[in-house]
Amino acid sequence: MNHSALMSILIFSPFIGFLINGLRFRSQKANLSGSIATAALFISFISAILLVVDLAGMPEESRKIHVQFFEWIAVSQFKVNFAFLIDQISAIMILVITGVGTLIHLFSIGYMHHDKGVTKYFAYLNLFVFNMLILVLGDSLLTLFVGWEGVGLCSYLLIGFWFTDKEKAAAGMKAFITNRIGDAAFLIGLFILFTTFGTVNIQELNALAPTVAEASWLGAVTLGTLFLFIGATGKSAQIPLYVWLPDAMAGPTPVSALIHAATMVTAGIYMIVRLNPLFIMAPNTLMVIAIIGAATAVLAASIGITQFDIKKVLAYSTVSQLGYMFLACGVGAFGPAMFHLMTHAFFKALMFLGSGSVIHAMHEEQDIRKMGGLKKYLPITHFTFFLGWVAIIGMPPFAGFFSKDEILWMSYHSPLGHVAFWAAGALGATMTAFYMTRLMCLTFWGKSRVPKSVHPHESPLLMTIPLMVLGLLSVIGGWIGIPHVISEVLPNHPENILEHWLEPVVRQIPNLQHGEASLEWTLMGVSVTLAVISAAIAYHFYVRKPEVPVQIAKSMGPVYQVIYKKYLVDEFYYGFIINPLVKVSEKIWYYIDVNLIDKTTYVISDVVRGGGSVVRSLQTGNLQQYAMYFGLGLVLALSFILMR
């Protein structure tokens, strides 16, 4: 089968699944609608594998599959094709999106089985994946933006899926509006780059990137990339636009696994890595990205320590892990950023689905204070969740260890790095180990706090099979990116496959030198040791001495309350931005819309209607009256003539 046919199947198979389920959206047959949606995405996954195998067989310098369907826009010299590109970067994305996405679809069949809107849910899920594929495969920023907006729409539909609940509907709206702010900035960045380079084709933009880095904050490349990054802060939930993601837990749990682990929230990182030659030439933008990423990683991790909703803990963990990826991009470590994107998709999708299994077993209960001791009731869920836990806290040789420590090393060693970036990353990793261990303890270990009316039970195979596959990937997923310092001491010196794979399309930042192995080992040892100590403290607090955390929280007083209330960021936004904006809008509406525009139109309509009434009064149908009007008109005409 040729590349054009495979590309069509890859992209449009989920869309066909959307159409089939969309036309029968009132059906409540979960097995049928779920099977259609899952099969559609599995076909895409097979197509992705075949395309990536073909790509791997090509010469390194020309690994590229480009398929053009038709000419989309042609205005004078400006042309945009509806075309798609698979190279080393997008190859990783399509495998993650379709592979992990298929497992999430399969899990959803069991999780959403009794929901009345199950067919509509699967239609939305397929449509979401279709748009995500357009985003990562589009060969131009305009095509990418179509997918960018498409996943924004689908996230609104899925997060607010249970829209009869006002809070859930509001969460969907919050996600939609917050992302629109970032999208406006993305468009500004796109226009700046287009006016500068005369193209929106991604390959052409990368080829036209300057050879000398811009020093000015007002340079075209700096401004363009900076606005694109603001767009990424919305889509990938970074300061200041991260506030939508924790509330997005209002949607069904598999939605969280799909949107917040494997797909939409990684779009910002993908976009920056895709345009890495441009971003390298804008060091000021990279500095901003690194600062925002490091700050977000620490801020979100600190909030995660205080949350009790199992999904909210994972949500803030996602925001924090995305901060690590942006930190990597900011110090020029684009390869490690993609590496962590991939491993994070494995263990975070696993943990979100695991939380769904727990919620299913607990009859929709999400408060971890009402759990504990679930290990004996949910053995498969516990074991797979355990694998995700050791992966996310960075224990060797699990997937998260290799990608996280690559980021920490580059945040210190890179010419764009700094010891402060490493310290922020290490602090975030330490807090991650604490709150994720806390989650394990309060959910699966220690004494049971499950209400007597609840009888936990293991999930069916449709839900546990995806957990087992993702658990395996959380173990071995990082082995394709073993750092050189580790591979040198292993038998046969395994190659860093991922680094070699990305090398032709990820440009190296200037002046990057090989670091001292002893220093890298030391920093690695420090981060792992901090994680182990932090996890041990959390275990001691929440299993052996559960009264201690309560005492510590009370002793911290208002400080704890501020962190528990998420630093009052939402309250600040409402108090100083949203509510004042609403009040100003109400004033503008009252004085401009009601008193000026409406009243002006009313006066004009009254004048026209009054004039019409006068004219209408002359049309009586009385012939004598008409003869009189005719005579008067004749007299006036003769008078006018005689006066001249």
Per-residue model confidence as pLDDT tens digits over 493-538: 888 899 999 999 998 888 888 888 999 999 999 999 999 999 999 9
Give the max Cα distance, the chain: 121
| Same structural domain, 349 and 243 | yes
**Side chain identity at 606, as an amino acid letter?**
D
- Give the C-alpha separation, 220 to 214, whole Å: 9
Please report, as a single letter, which amino acid is at residue 597.
Answer: I
Quote the domain boundaries for residue 275: 140-564
Is the confidence at residue 434, as pLDDT, over 90?
Answer: yes
Tell whether 386 and 273 lie within a shared domain. yes
The answer on 221 and 313 residing in a single domain is: yes
- Stated as kind and residue range, the H or E segment containing 513 is none
> pLDDT tens across 224-238, in order?
999 999 999 999 999
Gap between the Cα atoms of 500 and 474, Å rounded: 21
Residues 477, 346: contact at Cβ < 8 Å? yes
Q: How far apart are CA 102 and CA 88, in angstroms?
A: 21
Residues 630-638 have a mean pLDDT of 85
Residue 377, pLDDT above cutoff 80: yes
d(CA 45, CA 52): 10
Contacts of 317 (CB under 8 A, 6+ apart): 300, 301, 304, 348, 351, 392, 432, 435, 436
State whether 207 and 85 are in the same domain. no
Look at residue 495 in the predicted model and tell me its pLDDT: 87
pTM score, two decimals?
0.92
Same domain, 101 and 134: yes
Tens-digit pLDDT profile for residues 540-590: 999 999 999 999 999 998 999 999 999 999 999 999 999 999 999 999 999
Counted domains in the chain? 3
> Is residue 546 located within the same domain as residue 584?
no
The pair phi, psi for residue 75, each rounded to 5°, is -125, 105
Whether residue 313 sits in one domain with residue 229: yes
278 and 177 housed in the same domain:
yes
Residues 546 and 599 in one domain: no
Of the pLDDT bands very low, low, confident and very high (cuts 50, 70, 90), residue 403 is very high
Report which secondary-structure segment, H or E, holds 112: none
Share of the chain above pLDDT 90, in %: 82
Last residue of a domain, one of 139, 160, 190: 139
Quote the CA–CA distance of 591 and 568 in Å, as a whole number. Answer: 33
DSSP H helical ranges for 28-140: 30-56, 88-111, 118-137
Q: Which residue has the tokens 């559960």?
A: 546
Bond prior to 240 in cis (omega within 30° of 0): yes
**In a shared domain, residues 346 and 375:** yes
Q: In the structure, what pLDDT confidence band is assigned to residue 305 with cuts at 50, 70 and 90?
A: very high
- pLDDT tens-digit readout, 179-206: 999 999 999 999 999 999 999 999 999 9
Shared-domain flag, residues 504 and 385: yes
pLDDT band at 87 (very low <50, low <70, confident <90, very high): very high
Q: Which is nearest to 238 in space by CA: 320, 135, 328?
A: 320
Phi-psi region of 165 (alpha: psi -120 to 50; beta: other; left: phi over 0): beta
Beta bridge mates, 138: 84
pLDDT of residue 619: 74
Q: Which of 564, 597, 626 is the last residue of a domain?
A: 564
Q: Which tokens belong to 220?
A: 């075209």
Which residue, of 94, 121, 139, is where some domain finishes? Answer: 139
For residues 38 and 91, membership in a common domain is answered with yes
The residue with tokens 């696994």 is 257
